[in-house]
Amino acid sequence: MSFVDTDFLLFFPVVFIGYWLLQKRRWQNIFLLLASQVFYGWFDLRLPLLLLAVTGMNYGAAILVDRHPEQKGRILAAAVLLSVVNLCTFKYFGWFAAEIIPKLVGPEEAGRIAALHVALPLGLSFYTFHNLAYTIDVARGRLRVRHDPVDYFLYGSYFPQLVAGPVERPQNVLPQLESERYFDWSRVTSGMGLALWGGFKKVALADAISPYVDLMFLHQDPSWAMVWTGVLGFTIQAVTDFSGYTDIARGTSRMLGIELMDNFAHPYLAATPMEFWTRWHISFSTWLRDYVYMPACFSDSVRDWVTIPFTGEWSPFWNTARALAITMLVSGIWHGSTANFILWGAYYAVIGTAYAAVVAKLPKKWKKDGRWRYLTVPVMFGFTLFGMHIFRQPSVPVLLRHLTLNPLGGTPEQWTVSASMLGLCAYAALPLGLAIVYERFLAPRVKDAVWFLPVRTTVWAVFAVAIFSSVRTSSGDFIYFQF
């Protein structure tokens, strides 16, 4: 079930009350494990079987690594290969059936294969990465193996972060699942506030702007202003939708006494592409950093295999550029099989490398001057907008056509539509701006004021009313469900 389904509004209170009534950690974990299977099975009854298979494979692989350390390289390679094959089978079957199979077999056979309709199971890539992190860390000697199946299977299938992250780390979650949790009213209210804020961002902001963004991108002959106000709309929709999901996940988990990692830190305030990736989808970016970028930087096989033309030796700059290209390519392919995602990955590799080259040349005093960000943040936001355009537009020819549009062109009706879109963007961005002001400037000063509690409760009530009044019209889908 989705966080913004009415089913979840009934499911979670039952889980919350049952969980805290159980009191003992062992029973709480068994209860949460069962609840997680119900949550996932609500989408499709077959899904928990796949989840248990992925989790069980990693649970077993780590035990094998521990028992046969001399074979750990092979066991880890097998676990990674199985995970990648399983993920790719589901993720790219549609693309393979449509693009490759018809070229290999006759149309009748290709039609039969395409009719299998193998859809990507929700959250598969998230829990594949989440489980794989455990196996890799055990094999690298960074984590001790876990033998308790209840604790591990709960780590592998914990419902708040199951279908769209955060892509958690075993070092953060497993110790919490292995410790007693005590009911703490302040954590419960704090978690409830975070979940309400997340729900508000999703149903009152992202879902409000989403249909209009879709219309802008579906328009056959848009003006320049329509294209870019549509892109701006998607940029705001993406962050409200995805960070909304994360906040509900973190908030509900906090109410159960388990803290999940933060996934967003005002990404549109980044001054460079590298900083952007430390603020956007942080859990996945750090996963890529630790399990793709770092090995790509330091692996002998990558260093020796992918040589750099015209350079006699590997320099730190080109070595990191090469690792960044590999990482962003993996990220692009992970997001989808269409050409725009590959282009999107390449785009971030190129601007990341270009920024690194330019920043290295800038005078030191500029970089240390905080005012420098007044220029660099808007410039980076421009690059982010362009990246979002590539990300959202599946047709590369259409994308290229958009780049040739005249900025002053368009009919009066198209300018009116663009102005309306801009107004919608302002509506959706305003709460995000207020949240930054509150977080950075107000919260530290007013938290102890006598009026703080009633004001905060009123704001939460507004969020709750907005959620309950919109939840029936919400699509229930989050953008990142498709990945």
Partner 1 sequence: MADTLSKLQDVFRDVFEDDDLVISRATTAAQVSAWDSVMHVTLMMAAERAFKLRFKSGEVTGLKNVGELVDLIDRRLGG
Footprint of partner 1 on this chain (CB under 8 A)?
140-142, 274, 278, 286, 289-290, 293-295, 297-300, 303, 315-316, 319-320, 323, 364
Determine how many CB atoms are found less than 10 A away from the CB of residue 182.
9
Q: Which is nearer to partner 1, 293 or 391 (CB)?
A: 293
Backbone dihedral angles phi then psi of residue 126, each to the nearest 5 degrees? -65, -50
User: Running DSSP on this structure, what letter comes out for residue 389?
Assistant: H
| Nearest CA-CA partner of 343 in 396, 275, 380 | 396
Closest distance of CB 333 from partner 1, Å = 21
Instruction: Report the distance separating Cα 102 and Cα 193, nearest Å.
Output: 52
Closest distance of CB 309 from partner 1, Å = 19
Q: Which is nearer to partner 1, 298 or 374 (CB)?
A: 298
**What are the C-alpha distances in Å from 96 to residues 68, 113, 114, 122, 463?**
37, 10, 9, 19, 43
Closest distance of CB 61 from partner 1, Å = 18
Q: Which is nearer to partner 1, 170 or 336 (CB)?
A: 170
Q: Which is nearer to partner 1, 168 or 207 (CB)?
A: 168
Contact 168, 249 (CB under 8 A): no
The radius of gyration of the chain's CA atoms, rounded to the nearest angstrom, is 24
Concatenating the DSSP letter of every residue in 192-259 gives HHHHHHHHHIIIIIIHHHHHHHHHHHH-SS--HHHHHHHHHHHHHHHHHHHHHHHHHHHHHHHHTT-P
Chain mean position to CA 300: 30
Closest distance of CB 138 from partner 1, Å = 12
Q: Which is nearer to partner 1, 295 or 394 (CB)?
A: 295
Closest distance of CB 167 from partner 1, Å = 16
Instruction: Report the distance separating Cα 367 and Cα 376, nearest Å.
Output: 10
Exposure b/e, 19-34, CB count within 10 A at least 16 = b:
bbeeeebeebbebbbe
Closest distance of CB 317 from partner 1, Å = 8
| Helix %, strand %, coil % of the chain (to 5) | 75, 0, 25
Q: Which is nearer to partner 1, 236 or 297 (CB)?
A: 297
Contact 253, 161 (CB under 8 A): yes
Contact 282, 264 (CB under 8 A): yes
Q: Which is nearer to partner 1, 192 or 308 (CB)?
A: 308
Q: Which is nearer to partner 1, 219 or 303 (CB)?
A: 303
Q: Which is nearer to partner 1, 316 or 407 (CB)?
A: 316
Closest distance of CB 425 from partner 1, Å = 31
Q: Is the peptide bond preceding residue 166 cis, with omega within 30 degrees of 0?
A: yes
Sequence-distant (6+) residues with CB within 8 A of 62 are 134, 135, 138, 139, 145, 146
Closest distance of CB 315 from partner 1, Å = 8
Instruction: Report the distance separating Cα 83 and Cα 407, nearest Å.
Output: 47
Closest distance of CB 318 from partner 1, Å = 10
Q: Which is nearer to partner 1, 112 or 140 (CB)?
A: 140
- Three-state SS for 474? coil
For helices 149-157 and 124-139, angle between their N-to-C axes, nearest 10 degrees: 130
Q: Which is nearer to partner 1, 364 or 371 (CB)?
A: 364
Closest distance of CB 276 from partner 1, Å = 12
Closest distance of CB 205 from partner 1, Å = 30
Closest distance of CB 165 from partner 1, Å = 19
Q: Which is nearer to partner 1, 317 or 441 (CB)?
A: 317
